[in-house]
């Protein structure tokens, strides 16, 4: 896969990811306004456990499948590639059945163990998702191995649309039954989305039957690998990645217990602790997750791209893809982080307008702290994908585990200090990704021999984002008194986006190759070159 094809794959997933996150915001934000931060606390208490089980059943396997299939297709062994998919599909199915039954049977006990018994209905609402997400992930891994990102992108869109159309009305309808039941209705939206996304990828797979027949005819003759060999190869890649992917949800589950109990130990009631937890995870964390739409897309495209370059012994291409992945990640992570930092409370006021002033100020403070983590979280995702692509799957696992230990210690210590309370959990999150990203970067340099250009990769983007931050702050301060906080926030965000884009052009942070990612991008690049805004 060439550098341009990698970027185009990332662009497809990135565009879909942006739309998905926007739809998700339309889901989470009104949901918070309806079921309040207390209800969001019940919803979010169940969610890390769900993410953990989904990670265990799906995270490593799609990556392993896409990596192995891309390697088989690189040598035109199409039959071997499809055999890998069929065997892995069975593993996904078993994982889905197992995890869904675990939650269905022990939901009540799990809710009590995590310190929030009212999350019981939220856990029940997620049971069907635990069955269908692994099945959907099997097909996504197959398509990504073909380096066809469109089915994954489309299924993500369908998944989120179903979640919005079913989860939100169901939460509203169950509101009269109580906040725990309403939170359960919201959780079922994830299940509805998983079912819709699964049906779509199965439909796309069935429509490509003729293409597979043609590929089988043209496939090179290879001795079929035994089922045990394929399983061993999949597990060798999937287990370390699964362990790594499980670290964050495991940490989040532990963090839920730490936060709920430590807040109550310093005098807060269970209801107050749930409200503060809702401000952190339901309000602030929701906004932190938005920039991940693009960085996740980059990471998903990096693994098969780097794997193919490695198989072909195209080390120069591997370095170019690595360089491009890090640079593009920073170009996305920096403005998102600084923008959220500068406009933290105004953004909370804009989106969560039904919350009390006290809740808005609390969530704004948490968002400002968490915003810094965006830079390092997005870098962790891309650097992890690079290391997975070169076969060093255990290194990012170990590095993230070290970050998770730092988080647990800081969260326990800081959250128990009355003057810091819930902010301690936010600070510990930032520390987690700072540690993991720096450790990952050391090993990426070691194994890819990538030579990052300090000026192009770091200095120019930092200059651009600094200009953006100054203009955003001045714009908001100047317009707030004239049009009010909400409209001033929207204006400042719009102006900030324009200023950042122009600053990237003026400093030469983006190139003509980057414009190939968008429709008619080449023509736009030529026009910008003609007026001196695009340098290369």
Q: Residue 5 to residues 8, 147, 321, 385: CA-CA distances in angstroms? A: 5, 9, 10, 16
SS3 388: helix
Taking the alpha carbons of 207, 211, 212, 214 in that order, is the dihedral positive or negative? positive
- Determine the Cα–Cα distance for residues 43 and 28; give it in Å rounded to an integer: 11
- Determine the Cα–Cα distance for residues 456 and 433; give it in Å rounded to an integer: 23
Kindly give, in sequence order, each residue whose CB lies less than 8 Å from that of residue 183, ignoring residues fewer than 6 positions away: 35, 39, 40, 42, 43, 46, 118, 119, 121, 122, 171
The answer to whether position 145 is within a domain reads: yes
Measured in residues, the chain has a length of 536
Closest Cα to residue 164, out of 134, 186, 131?
186
Longest dimension (CA), the chain: 74
The answer to whether position 424 is within a domain reads: yes
| 513 CB neighbour count, 10 Å cutoff | 15
pTM metric for this prediction: 0.67
| pLDDT for the residue 17 | 60
Q: Within the chain, which residues score under 70 in pLDDT?
A: 1-29, 48-50, 52-60, 114-115, 244-245, 248-249, 293-294, 297, 300, 512-525, 531-536
Tokens of 414: 């800081």
The answer to whether position 95 is within a domain reads: yes
SS3 450: coil
| pLDDT for the residue 199 | 94
- Determine the Cα–Cα distance for residues 234 and 408; give it in Å rounded to an integer: 31
The answer to whether position 368 is within a domain reads: yes
SS3 127: helix
- Determine the Cα–Cα distance for residues 289 and 191; give it in Å rounded to an integer: 20
Count of structural domains, the chain: 1
Kindly give, in sequence order, each residue whose CB lies less than 8 Å from that of residue 306, ignoring residues fewer than 6 positions away: 318, 321, 322, 385, 386, 389, 390
The answer to whether position 505 is within a domain reads: no
The answer to whether position 247 is within a domain reads: yes
Specify burial of residue 485 (Cβ count, 10 A radius: 0-12, 13-18, 19+): middle
The answer to whether position 143 is within a domain reads: yes
| pLDDT for the residue 318 | 81
| pLDDT for the residue 257 | 83
Closest Cα to residue 237, out of 432, 441, 71?
71
| pLDDT for the residue 200 | 93
Structure letter (DSSP) for residue 451: -
Query: Is the backbone of residue 421 left (phi > 0), alpha (psi -120 to 50) or beta?
Result: left
| pLDDT for the residue 376 | 93
- Determine the Cα–Cα distance for residues 65 and 46; give it in Å rounded to an integer: 29
- Determine the Cα–Cα distance for residues 147 and 139; give it in Å rounded to an integer: 12
Tell me which residue range forms the domain holding 159. Answer: 3-452
Closest Cα to residue 465, out of 372, 344, 298, 332?
332
The answer to whether position 533 is within a domain reads: no
């Amino acid at each position: 896969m060439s550098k341009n094809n990698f970027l185009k794959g990332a662009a497809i997933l990135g565009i879909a990811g942006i739309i998905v996150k926007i739809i998700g915001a339309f889901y989470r934000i009104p949901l918070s306004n309806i079921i309040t931060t207390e209800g969001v606390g019940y919803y979010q208490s169940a969610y890390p456990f769900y993410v953990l089980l989904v990670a265990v059943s799906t995270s490593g396997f799609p990556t392993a499948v896409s990596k192995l299939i891309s390697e088989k297709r690189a040598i035109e062994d199409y039959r071997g590639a499809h055999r890998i998919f069929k065997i892995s599909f069975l593993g996904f199915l078993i994982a889905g059945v197992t995890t869904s039954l675990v939650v269905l049977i022990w939901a009540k006990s799990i809710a009590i163990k995590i310190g929030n018994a009212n999350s019981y209905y939220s856990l029940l609402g997620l049971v069907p998702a635990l069955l269908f997400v692994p099945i959907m992930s099997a097909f996504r891994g197959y398509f990504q191995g073909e380096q066809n990102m469109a089915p994954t992108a489309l299924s993500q869109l369908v998944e989120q649309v179903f979640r919005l159309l079913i989860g939100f009305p169901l939460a509203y309808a169950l509101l009269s039954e109580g906040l725990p039941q309403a939170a359960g209705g919201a959780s079922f939206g994830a299940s509805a989305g998983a079912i819709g996304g699964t049906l779509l990828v199965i439909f796309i797979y069935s429509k490509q039957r003729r293409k597979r027949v043609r590929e089988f005819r043209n496939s090179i003759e290879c001795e079929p690998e035994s089922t045990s060999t394929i399983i061993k190869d999949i597990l060798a890649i999937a287990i370390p990645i699964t362990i790594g992917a499980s670290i964050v949800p495991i940490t989040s589950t532990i963090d839920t217990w730490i936060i709920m109990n430590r807040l109550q130990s310093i005098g807060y009631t269970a209801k107050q602790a749930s409200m503060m937890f809702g401000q952190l995870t339901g309000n602030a964390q929701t906004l932190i997750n938005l920039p991940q739409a693009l960085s996740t897309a980059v990471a998903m495209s990096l693994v098969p791209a780097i794997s193919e370059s490695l198989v072909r012994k195209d080390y120069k291409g591997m370095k170019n893809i690595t360089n491009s992945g890090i640079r593009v990640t920073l170009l996305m992570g920096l403005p998102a982080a600084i923008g959220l930092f500068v406009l933290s409370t105004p953004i909370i006021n804009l989106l969560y307008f039904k919350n009390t002033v006290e809740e808005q100020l609390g969530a704004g403070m948490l968002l400002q702290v968490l915003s810094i983590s965006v830079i390092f979280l997005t870098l962790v995702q891309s650097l992890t994908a690079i290391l997975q692509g070169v076969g060093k799957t255990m290194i990012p696992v170990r590095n993230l585990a070290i970050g998770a230990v730092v988080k647990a210690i800081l969260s326990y210590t800081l959250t128990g200090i009355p003057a810091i309370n819930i902010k301690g959990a936010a600070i510990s999150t930032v520390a987690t990704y700072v540690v993991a990203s720096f450790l990952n970067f050391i090993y990426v340099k070691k194994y890819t021999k990538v030579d990052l250009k300090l000026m192009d990769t770091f200095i120019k983007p930092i200059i651009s984002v600094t200009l953006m931050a100054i203009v955003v702050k001045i714009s908001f301060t100047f317009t707030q008194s004239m049009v009010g906080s909400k409209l001033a926030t929207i204006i400042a965000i719009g102006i900030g986006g324009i200023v950042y884009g122009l600053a990237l052009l003026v400093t030469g942070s983006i190139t003509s190759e980057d414009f190939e990612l968008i429709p008619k991008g080449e023509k736009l690049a030529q026009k910008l070159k003609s007026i001196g805004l695009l340098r290369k």
